[in-house]
Every structure is written in C-alpha cells, then in structure tokens.
C-alpha cells in the first residue's frame, strides 16, 4: 500500500512542511520503490530538520555515494587540464603573456 501511504504523507507534508515523520516516511517509500534520487531529496530534507541525527547522516551519505559514486582520478585533475587558457585568451582577443 505504498501508493496510498505516499498520497497521505504528501498531504501531511503539504499542510505541515516540517513534519519530520511524514518526510521520513516519503523518503522510505521512494527508497522502497527504487526511486533513489527522490528518496535522497526527502532524506536531506529530514536531515535539515534533525541536523545531528546519526542515522539520517549515515543514510544521506550512503545514498549519495550510491547515486553518484566517486570516479577514480577526479581528485588529481587540475584546472589547467580542464581548460586551455591560451586558447581562451586568444578567443577573447587578448595576447598570451
């Protein structure tokens, strides 16, 4: 009965946007449905209301990694490797030093 629960919880959140239990309920429903991005939005919203809840902190951290796992080597990329500054300067009409 996830669908009917989601409808009811959405009504509660619509009338009481800071209702932590309803927000967590919606997060869990989306997670059970496999809608991880939506679940993560609700978990983050819940964490804003319960800032130092270790369970919510762990859940948000774990789901963030699931949705966007860190790719290898990204930390070693320099700004210079991403942009060709000489070319950009030429396109802007200035001279390269």
Encode the chain (97 residues) as per-residue pLDDT tens digits.
Answer: 889 999 999 999 999 999 999 999 999 999 999 999 999 999 999 999 999 999 999 999 999 988 876 665 555 555 555 556 666 666 677 554 5
3-state helix/strand/coil string of the chain: CHHHHHHHHHHHHHHCCCCHHHHHHHHHHHHHHCCHHHHHHHHHHHHHHCCCCHHHHHHHHHHHHHHCCCCCCHHHCCHHHHCCHHHHHHHHCCCCC
Q: Which residue has the tokens 């679940």?
A: 39
pLDDT at 91: 65
In this predicted structure, what is the pLDDT of residue 7?
A: 95
- The reported pLDDT for the residue numbered 85 is 60
């Amino acid at each position: 009965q996830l669908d009917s629960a989601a409808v009811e919880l959405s009504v509660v959140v619509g009338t009481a946007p800071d209702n932590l239990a309803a927000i967590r309920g919606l997060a869990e429903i989306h997670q059970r449905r496999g809608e991880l991005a939506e679940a993560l939005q609700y978990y983050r919203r819940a964490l804003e209301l319960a800032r130092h809840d270790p369970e919510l902190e762990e859940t948000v951290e774990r789901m963030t990694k699931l949705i966007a796992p860190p790719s290898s080597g990204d930390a070693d990329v320099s700004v210079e490797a991403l942009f060709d500054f000489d070319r950009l300067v030429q396109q802007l009409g200035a001279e390269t030093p």
